[in-house]
């Protein structure tokens, strides 16, 4: 099951700057692998994944940042799974979304949907 959070803030920073901080923090400190980074005119899509050897599970994190003029929005989606019949994620999807939410809150984003 996926965990989804939507956030918004008044435009203060550029989405390229925000995406750089997210990339640096999640890849550099949390050992996520950056799978996709796609910049378009007014949006950036970031996709990360991480494999947990001990529990044989994985987590994915997708973040869509959009510049809507005077408002920036962020859609954060975390998903996970594992091996075996139960295919458990052991809560990793919620944990990685929480990390991304905390980073975005430091920029001034606020949750609108959780």
pLDDT tens across 87-109, in order? 555 566 788 889 899 999 999 99
Question: Can you tell me the mean pLDDT for 65-70?
Answer: 93
Helix, coil or strand: residue 50: strand
Number of residues that this document lists for the chain: 114
In 10 A of CB 84, how many CB atoms? 9
Show the tokens assigned to 7: 């956030």
Q: How confident is the model at residue 84 (pLDDT cuts 50, 70, 90)?
A: low
Q: Give the pTM.
A: 0.87
Evaluate if residue 73 carries a pLDDT over 80.
Answer: yes
């Amino acid at each position: 099951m996926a965990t989804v959070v939507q956030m918004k803030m008044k435009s203060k920073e550029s989405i390229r700057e925000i995406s750089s901080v997210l990339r640096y923090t999640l890849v550099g400190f949390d050992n996520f692998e950056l799978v996709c980074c796609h910049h378009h005119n007014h949006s950036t899509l970031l996709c990360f994944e991480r494999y947990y050897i001990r529990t044989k599970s994985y987590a994915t994190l997708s973040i869509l940042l959009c510049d809507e003029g005077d408002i920036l929005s962020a859609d954060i989606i975390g998903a996970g799974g594992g091996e075996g019949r139960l295919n458990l994620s052991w809560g990793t999807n919620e944990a990685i979304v929480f990390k991304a939410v905390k980073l975005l809150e430091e920029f001034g984003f606020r949750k609108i949907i959780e």
